[in-house]
């Protein structure tokens, strides 16, 4: 148990030293926390289209003018993946 406590203290010391010598790290942590807590609306809109090479593109910005695209809306409180077959009810 003592070893685990020492390892935890060492990890906290290492994190503190990293934050001390890399001031941008704390700013990034703050920004990430702000983005996660204030992510705006519960629905996010994405755009799906094919580029000139035939590759599928998915972005949060619409494609260039004149390109046909599909709009996908994702709700934060819903799973975006379908249930696996073994979990689906018959």
What pLDDT is recorded for position 32? 81
Q: How far apart are CA 6 and CA 1, in angstroms?
A: 9
pTM assigned to the model: 0.43
Q: What are the extents of the domains in the chain? A: 2-37, 43-75
Query: 37 pLDDT band (50/70/90 cuts)?
Result: low
What pLDDT is recorded for position 38? 58
Phi, psi dihedral angles at 24 (to 5 degrees)? -65, -25
Q: How far apart are CA 53 and CA 39, in angstroms?
A: 34
Q: How far apart are CA 14 and CA 37, in angstroms?
A: 27
CA distances from 51 to 17, 71, 73 (A): 46, 15, 21
pLDDT digits (tens, 9 = 90+) for 69-80: 999 988 776 766
Residue 43 scores a pLDDT above 90: no
pLDDT digits (tens, 9 = 90+) for 5-36: 999 999 999 988 888 898 888 888 888 877 76
């Amino acid at each position: 148990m003592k070893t685990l406590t020492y390892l935890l203290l060492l990890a906290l010391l290492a994190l503190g030293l990293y934050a001390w010598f890399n001031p941008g790290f704390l700013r990034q942590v703050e920004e990430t926390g702000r983005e996660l807590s204030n992510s705006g609306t519960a629905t996010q809109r994405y755009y799906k289209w094919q580029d000139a090479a035939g590759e599928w593109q998915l972005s949060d910005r619409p494609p260039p003018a004149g390109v046909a695209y599909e709009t996908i809306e994702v709700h934060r409180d819903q799973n975006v993946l379908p249930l696996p077959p073994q979990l689906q009810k018959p």
